[in-house]
Amino acid sequence: MRDPSALVEHPRNPNRHPKKQIELLARIIRHQGWRNPIVVSARSGFVIAGHGRLAAARFLGLTAVPVDVQEFETEADEWAHLVADNRIAELANMDEAGLGELLRDLGEVEDFDLDLTGFDDEALADLMGDGSPAEGEGAADPAVTGRGLVGDFGAAPFSVFDARSGAWLDRKRAWIESGIASSEGRAEELAFSTSSQPQETYDRKAAVEAAEGRKLGWKEFAQRFPEAMKQTGTSIFDPVLAEIALRWWCPAGGRVLDPFAGGSVRGLVSAKLGMHYTGIDLRPEQVEANERQAAEFGPVPGSARWITGDSRCLPELIGEAEPFDFMLSCPPYFDLEVYSERPEDLSALGSYAGFLEAYREIIRHACARLAPDAFACWVIGDVRDSRGWFHGLTGDTVRAFEDAGMRLYNDAILLTPAGSLPMRVRGQFEKSRKLGKTHQYVLIFGKGDPAKVAARCTLARLPEDDGQNG
């Protein structure tokens, strides 16, 4: 072991070591320790091999490095080894198919950093591939590449889900054509996208309230001044996202709890995949519409039931049956969409503080009904107040789950289709510098031992003869 500051690089070393290489070598040494010593000539005292490792050691501030002192009879022998140390390795022929397979296997090792192999992201992508053809090319040979990540899992298991991609849209279309019509049951009482309205809508509503000396509900305002409502309609839960969540994080045949059921999507997808779904919704009209769809959906290996009620009373609504294996839900984003004017409806509570109190209570009840080792998938997005500030709903959700005994395990971004946003965003951005929002958050919480739950989630990989909708 020698002090690296005392070692002397060979003055005729032909290799140059860029900063990127030195930083990578330093990461490898920090991760693995020393695998190869620095070779020093006993004859001249110069470093003959390991100049890059020496630079990395100095970069790390090490005070001792392993050195192999070797005998060289002549100066020519030193020079030859100086050149051959790198050149001999360069003469090897790389089996790229074998290397790609090895790298893919390394990628299966949890938390292993593939940068430690020496390849950057672009090179890794070229070598490993994802089983998908490049743009403008034919399909890759399935015998070499397999079905790729999307073919295997329904979507690449990355932290961004692209609901705009062709593969995603094709799968969504297949689910819809199978008989899912989640907007049914909302037409009569569906309220309005309040927090997503442009400022001119809020200004008009405030002016009317000032003139009449009273507050107007959004339903009354929309009925009296429909021309002022620039953003109408309701969001529909994406069936592909439901399928992915259920396949990836719910045990096969598991019992699924949904305290904010809404439309039929999550229940019908659960039943189609062989799970047993229980959803709770305030509105009997919505529950009846969901049940009609379930009856028309055809035979399924699982089951779906909906209960009319307030999830703040969840313990009384579902009784003391065995615990649930998974939770999948999409709660109201405060007042982004007001679903009804019922006093118990969280989307119509008026104040964020009141909403948050009820919201936390429901999360606490729902988490308590999960099995000791279970996941929960929560789809959420932040919303603005009337002055344009975000409430912080996503962060409040994480804290609510933590207080209920569950920890954040995965987080992902769901990129949603832009829809009418390109037509609306120009004026919004020019006036207020607000960005148009085209994403939601997918939060996965864990309870107990995530490894035990993952071991039971056997549906993650799509069947070989998969026909789009499972």
Interval 247-269 mean pLDDT: 95
- At 224 the pLDDT is 80
CA dist 393 and 273 (Å) reads 31
- The tens digit of pLDDT for each residue in 9-57 reads 999 888 888 998 899 899 999 988 999 999 999 999 999 999 999 999 9
Q: 108 or 270: whose pLDDT is higher? A: 270
Tell me: pLDDT of 360 over 80. yes
281 part of a folded domain: yes
| CA pair distance 322, 371, nearest whole angstrom | 8
Which range, of 59-68, 148-157, 199-208, 340-349, averages the lowest pLDDT? 340-349
Residue 133, pLDDT score = 41
For residues 236 and 299, state if they share a domain: yes
Span 107-125, average pLDDT: 69
Domain assignment of residue 327, yes or no: yes
Tokens of 120: 């950057």
CA 394 and chain centroid, separation:
14
pTM assigned to the model: 0.67
- The average pLDDT across 146-167 equals 88
CATH number for the domain that contains residue 352: 3.40.50.150
Per-residue tokens: 163:
């609901």
pLDDT value at 182 more than 90? no
Q: Could you give the residue ranges of the DSSP H alpha helices within 258-351?
A: 265-272, 284-296, 314-318
Asked if residue 97 has pLDDT above 60, the reply is yes
Please tell me what DSSP assigns to residue 377: E
Candidate from 6-10, 90-94, 321-325, 397-401 with smallest mean pLDDT = 90-94
Residues 387 and 407 in one domain: yes
Residue listed under structure tokens 């003959």: 48
Into how many domains does the chain fold? Answer: 3
Q: Do residue 218 and residue 274 come from a single domain?
A: no
- Single out the residue in 90, 111, 127 at which a domain terminates: 90
The pLDDT assigned to 62 comes to: 95
| Residue that the structure tokens 């070779």 belong to | 39
Residue 419 counted as domain residue? yes
Let me know if residue 264 belongs to a domain: yes
Q: Are residues 73 and 171 in the same domain?
A: no
- Of residues 464 and 178, the one with the higher pLDDT is 178
Among the listed ranges 127-131, 305-309, 348-352, 452-456, which one has the minimum average pLDDT value? Answer: 127-131
Residue 130 covered by a domain: no
Q: Which of 85, 108, 104 is nearest to 36 (CA)?
A: 85
pLDDT in tens, 431-461: 888 888 889 999 999 999 988 888 888 888 8
447 and 364 within one domain: yes
Lowest-confidence pick of 240-254, 278-292, 344-358: 344-358
Phi, psi at 211, each rounded to 5°: -70, -35
CATH number (domain holding residue 50) = 3.90.1530.30
Q: Provide mean pLDDT across the span 189-193.
A: 46
Q: Which amino acid is at 16?
A: R
Closest CA to 300 of 355, 361, 246: 246
Residues 279 and 257 grouped into a single domain? yes
Same domain? For 240 and 378 the reply is yes
pLDDT mean over 377-402: 91
User: Do 206 and 275 belong to one domain?
Assistant: no
Cα separation of 57 and 65, whole Å? 7
Co-location of 216 and 269 in the same domain: no
- The answer to whether residue 372 is domain-embedded is yes
**Three-state DSSP class for residue 167:** helix
Q: Does residue 118 lie in a domain region?
A: no
Residues 81 and 166 placed together within one structural domain of the fold: no
Domain boundary among 44, 62, 90: 90
Domain assignment of residue 204, given as a range? 199-228
pLDDT tens digits for range 1-11: 999 999 999 99
pLDDT of residue 322: 83
Does 194 map to a domain?
no
- The stretch 368-379 carries a mean pLDDT of 96
Pair (219, 359) in one structural domain: no
**Same-domain pairing of 236 and 373:** yes
- Residue 332 is predicted with a pLDDT of 84
